[in-house]
């Protein structure tokens, strides 16, 4: 069975992703985003879940449930309010763990 890609965030930030075939889940609150994340990740229908950086930063508790799992990959993306460098910081921490120092 083919796995899909989901995008969770405010509607203004994610509406364009539906044009390229991704499943979008607009949320008006962080509680709603947390609920959506749990439902999508537990459904086993999605291999990748993109979260806007704002949602990513407010759903730490829910994301921790899926940290050790291979799928779904939960990846932060910038929203319409700008880039907060969440993805870069996260990548740097992974590299530091793997290499022993921050080489990025």
Cα distances from 65 to residues 21, 38, 59, 70, 76, in angstroms, run 27, 9, 11, 12, 16
pLDDT of residue 89: 67
Digit-by-digit pLDDT tens for the chain (104 residues) are 458 999 999 999 999 999 999 999 999 999 999 999 999 999 989 999 999 999 999 999 999 999 888 889 999 998 887 677 776 666 666 566 667 776 66
Tokens representing 11 are 């509607």
Domains and CATH numbers, the chain: 4-99 (3.40.50.10580)
Integer Cα distance of 85 and 53 in angstroms: 8
CA distance 93 to 89: 6
**Which positions ≥6 away from 44 have C-beta within 8 Å?**
71
């Amino acid at each position: 069975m083919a796995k899909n890609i989901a995008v969770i965030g405010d509607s203004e930030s994610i509406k364009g992703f539906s044009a390229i075939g991704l499943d979008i889940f607009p949320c008006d609150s962080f509680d709603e985003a947390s609920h959506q994340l749990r439902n999508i990740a537990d459904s086993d229908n999605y291999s990748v879940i993109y979260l806007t950086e704002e949602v990513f930063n407010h759903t730490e508790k829910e994301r921790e449930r899926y940290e050790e799992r291979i799928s779904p990959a939960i990846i932060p993306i910038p929203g319409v309010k700008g880039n907060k460098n969440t993805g870069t910081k996260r990548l740097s921490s992974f590299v530091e763990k793997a290499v022993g120092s921050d080489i990025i």
